[in-house]
Amino acid sequence: MKEAINLPGPTVKIVDSPIPEPNDDQVLIKVVVSGSNPKDWKVPDLAASGDSSFGVFVQARKGLNQGDDIAGIVEKVGVNVVDFKPGDRVAAFHEMGTTGGSYAEYAIAWSHTTFHLPQRTSFEEAATIPLAALTAAVSLYAHHRLPFPWAPAQSAIPIIIYGASTAVGSYAIKFACNSKIHPIIAVAGKGSHYVETLIDRSQGDAVLDYREGVEATVEGIHQCLRDTGHTSVWHAVDAAIVPQSAEILRRSVSPGGMINFILPNDLDVSIKSVTSVGSVHGQAEFENFEELGYIISRYFTRALKNGSFSGHPFEVRPGGLEGIEDALKDLKAGKASATKYIFRIADTPGMG
């Protein structure tokens, strides 16, 4: 099969590889569409810049297919897999830092982070969901311990979501709304128009523009709290992870509250936690949230079917696997706003 190998730069090398074999608890998926994520260029760059023994970096130094968002058709299942069979339309979160990624004709996923797709959900939409939405779920439900959508909040719970137009940020808003967590104070930039479509102004939700500066944004957060009868906010998700976001959240979240960052960082914030979405695969470096990964993956199918959950806006990049390098360069350059770059594997020259 054809497979894309990610290297620093970002650069991408297309190679011929054997079709991977699923283990007893995995599924082999014929990839129709792959999603992309900022980590796909960040991990190879970080791996090349240091000598970290962190597992994903060790693999990345050798060159690795970094794709983790799979949408396609089940080709084969392991002997312990009972939820899926060949021919099923599915999406899945591939285990980061391992072989069998989604930038290929075939990919491997654990069955517990694979989910059925209702007919109304396209492969393109589905490919925007796995990594980013599971990251948002781990942040809200494992770290913040907020109520689940099937047992929603009974009273107001203010939350700040910074980087609200990113895929993780927007999924955090969608989960919060389904869990009846309001008021949501969403902080975004040029993607604010999209964020506005996600929030519920009648519940006190608001969108603030961080481009107004630190002081204006901090005051805006406090004003939103006052307008909804609150004097404090205990929960914040940072999907941007830049010095400005850390400063704004540090000055806004009440003492004893939590600022959850979606990636490790060295920002100086004392009341922080870090979400590692690899935890849904029980990777040794992280806490183990495999059960949460299973539950949320099953929730995706039901919520997509009844229309209470949806994917992220996307742009299909031309060239299939051949288009990954340019797309990751655009991601690195910050050109993507409120959109996810995806790839139709059959668009690869000489394939399909």
pLDDT tens sequence across 160-212 = 999 999 999 999 999 999 999 999 999 999 999 999 999 999 999 999 999 99
68-116 pLDDT tens trace: 999 999 999 999 999 999 999 999 999 999 999 999 999 999 999 999 9
State the sign of the Cα–Cα–Cα–Cα dihedral 240, 5, 27, 35: positive
The region of weakest confidence among 5-14, 261-270, 328-337 is: 261-270
Report yes or no on whether pTM surpasses 0.75: yes
**How is 224-269 classified by DSSP, letter by letter?**
HHHHTT-S---EEEESS-SHHHHHHHHTTSPTT-EEEESS------
Q: What is the per-residue pLDDT for 143? A: 92
DSSP 143: I
Spatial contact of 173 and 196, defined as CB atoms under 8 Å apart:
no
4-61 pLDDT tens trace: 999 999 999 999 999 999 999 999 999 999 999 999 999 898 888 875 555 556 677 7
Residue of 218, 211, 220 whose CA lies nearest to 191: 211
State the sign of the Cα–Cα–Cα–Cα dihedral 217, 223, 224, 226: positive
Spatial contact of 127 and 109, defined as CB atoms under 8 Å apart:
no
User: How many C-beta atoms surround the C-beta of residue 162 within 10 A?
Assistant: 30
Three-class DSSP category at 308: coil
Half-sphere exposure of 210 (CA within 13 A, CB side): 24
Q: What distance lies between CA 226 and its chain's CA centroid?
A: 31
State the sign of the Cα–Cα–Cα–Cα dihedral 163, 161, 135, 198: negative
Q: Which domains does the chain have, with CATH numbers?
A: 2-129+280-347 (3.90.180.10), 133-275 (3.40.50.720)
Tell me how far apart the alpha carbons of residues 36 and 138 are, in angstroms, rounded to a whole number: 19
Q: What is the per-residue pLDDT for 51? A: 55
Widest CA span in the chain: 61
Is pLDDT above 80 for 157? Answer: yes
Q: Which residue has the higher pLDDT, 273 or 227?
A: 227
Half-sphere exposure of 306 (CA within 13 A, CB side): 6
Tell me how far apart the alpha carbons of residues 132 and 313 are, in angstroms, rounded to a whole number: 13
**How is 162-222 classified by DSSP, letter by letter?**
ESTTSHHHHHHHHHHHHTT---EEEEESTTHHHHHTTS-GGGT-EEEEGGG-HHHHHHHHH
Q: Establish whether the linkage from the previous residue to 38 is cis, with ω within 30° of 0.
A: no
Angle value at C-alpha 141, between 249 and 286, nearest 5 degrees: 85
State the sign of the Cα–Cα–Cα–Cα dihedral 140, 145, 151, 153: negative
Write out the H or E segment, with its range, that includes residue 49. Answer: helix 39-49
Q: What is the per-residue pLDDT for 267? A: 54
Q: Distances from the Cα of 254 to the Cαs of 160, 267, 294, in angstroms?
A: 12, 18, 32
Q: Which two tokens stand for residue 45?
A: 């760059």
294-313 pLDDT tens trace: 999 999 999 999 999 999 99
Q: What is the mean pLDDT of residues 253-273?
A: 72
Q: What is the per-residue pLDDT for 70? A: 99
